[in-house]
Amino acid sequence: MSGTNRPRVLVAGMQYEVNSFTAGTGTLEIFRKRRLAEGDEVFATSHGDEVAGARKVAARRGVDLVPIFLTFGGAGPLLDDEVYHYCRDRILAGVRREAGRIDGIYLPLHGAMAAKTYPDAEGDLVTRIREIVGPKVPIVATFDMHANFTDEMARGLDGAVGFKTCPHVDYPETGEAGMEILCKAMAGEAKPRLIHRKVRMMTSAEGHDTNTGPMTEVIALLREVEMTPGVLSATVIAPQPWMDVPELGWSVLVVADGHASVAEGQRQADRVGRHVWGMRERFRSNRISLEEAFDAVAASSADQKPFVLSDASDAPSAGSFGDSTVVLKHLLARPPLAGPLLLTLTDPAATDACHKAGVGAALSLTIGAAFQPIYYEPVTVEARVIGLYDGPYMSELPPMNLDAGRRAVIEIQGFIRVLLSEKPVITLDLKGYEASGLYPREAKTVIVKSAGQFRGFYTPFAHRIVELETPGPVDSILPRLPFRNITRPLWPFDPDLAEPWEGAGP
Ligand SMILES: [Zn+2]
């Protein structure tokens, strides 16, 4: 226990979403350019996130927080072990330093981190923290909805709470909920017991939107479960599907209050598990061909705009590099459409060529497939440079400065406007386009490289939203991806699987 009357809670975390199918290896640079904060920097870099929510509750309940370490690396390839070791060892050093003087631990995690020899990095982290502090110090973690929750995480944690929104707009609320459980545990007001039910299903990210479709029902059910006496919180984890790890699959988490509530908590977790299993077919994506999508654009009247077309298979928010030329190649092969049509493409060499040529220059450029030639092919275009940009810009989701490096806007065939950037960057909201002089609301067609989270931003003004049938490392037709490490049976890889877990009954 701490020396003063005020309880002390250690805060530490690492946040990364691995994509096992993208090229390369994740380095510490991925974190350095987004967020890698130690000590007081953890709070200084916290805006509208889980930590901000946790701080609010701590202030209200008279709890002192001890910030140790926090990273955010977005989404990207499998990490080198050294990167994970660096983050983990910073956190463990802080835990060792504070052990004996802290009353609880809050871990703002993402839950989808993996390194070369660590398919479950967070499980390893939690286990090692638990070894240092022993069984009596309560540990509560918060998670992204797209985590992959494991039994090892469950063994080390007293409580776990995940987002209930997608697009994720409840970062602070989730931090508040996690910290509230931790504070109750420290004050003796509750005895959190974490129950984990694994469900043998995987779904593509298109179906995770909590504003429309099947996920709205799932969230309503969780709210109902949370009204049950003895239940402190209920979460559904629908993993991002590009993580090739042994325990891949949906999870239901229920935090029960005390030993006497464990049986009821398990019953509720199983109830939610059976419910989502019964809905599984409804989570399939509903993609249409490029021909069909652009025929619809061509046939539309001038005031029917914008068409918002998602090229989810190349989504940087899921770990792709944003260098697909599939849509561009299709456009170049068909008669020109009414414009403007907005498209993003990561290509450092082409961006550099545009900056050297200057605004107004006309040039022949070979663009695309700069990072992922195994999925895409470059195309050569006659382009005119219409804008040059540099420097980071504030994004709405995630709520932070994003750095795409230098950017250039080129015009092709009079109607295509390609936003070139040196680095891949998350494109869920409109900010990347707007920071580059392109305005989706006024466009005829906007290509968005996101599976579902873009909907929260585009639905209010889109004439029509269409999911494109395109290839790439974040394909949503999961059996097409080269999974090697997942545990079978798992739906939809085993489409005839009868039970959501062994012994559940059909
Ligand atoms: Zn997510």
Examine the domain organization and report whether 346 and 419 are in the same domain. Answer: yes
Residue 493, in any domain of the structure: no
How many angstroms separate the alpha carbon of residue 17 from the centre of ligand 1? 8
How far is it, in rounded angstroms, from Cα 385 to Cα 332?
A: 18
Could you tell me the maximum CA-CA distance found in the chain, to the nearest angstrom? Answer: 75
Cα end-to-end span (Å), the chain: 48
* Position 408, amino acid: A
* Pair type for strands 416-421 and 407-412: antiparallel
How many angstroms separate the alpha carbon of residue 230 from the centre of ligand 1? 28
How many angstroms separate the alpha carbon of residue 111 from the centre of ligand 1? 10
What DSSP assignment string belongs to 154-199? Answer: HHH-SEEEE---SS---HHHHHHHHHHHHHHHHTTS--EEEEEEEE
Residue 42, in any domain of the structure: yes
How many angstroms separate the alpha carbon of residue 237 from the centre of ligand 1? 10
Examine the domain organization and report whether 301 and 381 are in the same domain. Answer: yes
Residue 489, in any domain of the structure: no
Closest CA to 87 of 28, 146, 129: 28
Q: Are 193 and 259 in contact (CB under 8 A)?
A: yes
The residue among 233, 259, 283 that closes a domain is 283
Given CA atoms 345, 286, 446, 317 in this order, what sign does their dihedral have?
A: negative
Examine the domain organization and report whether 331 and 227 are in the same domain. Answer: no
The residue among 234, 262, 283 that closes a domain is 283
Examine the domain organization and report whether 168 and 106 are in the same domain. Answer: yes
Examine the domain organization and report whether 313 and 263 are in the same domain. Answer: no
Residue 127, in any domain of the structure: yes
Closest CA to 138 of 173, 102, 172, 92: 102
Q: Is the peptide bond between 495 and the residue preceding it cis, with omega within 30 degrees of 0?
A: no
How many angstroms separate the alpha carbon of residue 239 from the centre of ligand 1? 8
How many angstroms separate the alpha carbon of residue 235 from the centre of ligand 1? 13
* Pair type for strands 64-76 and 250-257: unpaired
How many angstroms separate the alpha carbon of residue 274 from the centre of ligand 1? 23
How far is it, in rounded angstroms, from Cα 84 to Cα 125?
A: 10
Residue 92, in any domain of the structure: yes
How many angstroms separate the alpha carbon of residue 485 from the centre of ligand 1? 22
Q: Are 193 and 257 in contact (CB under 8 A)?
A: yes
CATH code assigned at 153: 3.40.50.9100
How many angstroms separate the alpha carbon of residue 355 from the centre of ligand 1? 34
Closest CA to 440 of 423, 427, 454, 458: 458
Q: Are 179 and 186 in contact (CB under 8 A)?
A: no
Torsion of CA 436, 441, 442, 444, to 10 degrees: 100
- Domain span at residue 128 reads 8-283
The two structure tokens encoding residue 481:
């991806």
How far is it, in rounded angstroms, from Cα 356 to Cα 41?
A: 37
Examine the domain organization and report whether 274 and 296 are in the same domain. Answer: no
Please, is 356 exposed, middle or buried when counting C-beta atoms within 10 Å of its C-beta (0-12, 13-18, 19+)?
exposed
Q: Does residue 78 sit in helix, strand or coil? A: coil
Closest CA to 146 of 121, 117, 167: 167
Examine the domain organization and report whether 166 and 243 are in the same domain. Answer: yes
How far is it, in rounded angstroms, from Cα 249 to Cα 237?
A: 9
Examine the domain organization and report whether 52 and 135 are in the same domain. Answer: yes
For tokens 């080390």, name the residue. Answer: 156
Examine the domain organization and report whether 274 and 132 are in the same domain. Answer: yes
Q: Are 248 and 202 in contact (CB under 8 A)?
A: yes
How many angstroms separate the alpha carbon of residue 139 from the centre of ligand 1? 22
Examine the domain organization and report whether 156 and 263 are in the same domain. Answer: yes
The residue among 248, 283, 318 that closes a domain is 283
How many angstroms separate the alpha carbon of residue 398 from the centre of ligand 1? 10
How many angstroms separate the alpha carbon of residue 144 from the centre of ligand 1? 5
Residue 327, in any domain of the structure: yes
How many angstroms separate the alpha carbon of residue 150 from the centre of ligand 1? 17
Residue 498, in any domain of the structure: no
Q: How many residues does the chain have?
A: 506
Q: How many domains does the chain have?
A: 2
Q: What is the pLDDT along the chain (506 residues), one digit of tens a residue?
A: 444 689 999 999 999 999 998 888 999 998 998 899 999 999 999 989 999 999 999 999 999 999 999 999 989 999 999 999 999 999 999 999 999 999 999 999 999 999 999 999 999 999 999 999 999 999 999 999 999 999 999 999 999 999 999 989 999 999 999 999 999 999 999 999 999 999 999 998 888 989 888 999 999 999 999 999 999 999 999 999 899 999 999 999 999 999 999 999 999 999 999 999 999 999 987 889 999 999 999 999 999 999 999 999 999 998 899 999 999 999 999 999 999 999 999 999 999 999 999 999 999 999 999 999 989 999 999 999 999 999 999 999 888 889 999 999 999 999 999 999 999 999 999 999 999 999 999 999 999 999 888 998 999 999 999 999 999 988 888 888 899 999 999 999 999 999 999 999 86
How many angstroms separate the alpha carbon of residue 409 from the centre of ligand 1? 29
Examine the domain organization and report whether 13 and 128 are in the same domain. Answer: yes
Q: Does residue 268 sit in helix, strand or coil? A: helix
Residue 64, in any domain of the structure: yes
Examine the domain organization and report whether 265 and 300 are in the same domain. Answer: no
How many angstroms separate the alpha carbon of residue 141 from the centre of ligand 1? 15
How many angstroms separate the alpha carbon of residue 38 from the centre of ligand 1? 24
Whether the predicted model's global pTM rises above the 0.85 cut: no
How many angstroms separate the alpha carbon of residue 167 from the centre of ligand 1? 8
How many angstroms separate the alpha carbon of residue 146 from the centre of ligand 1? 4
How many angstroms separate the alpha carbon of residue 135 from the centre of ligand 1? 30
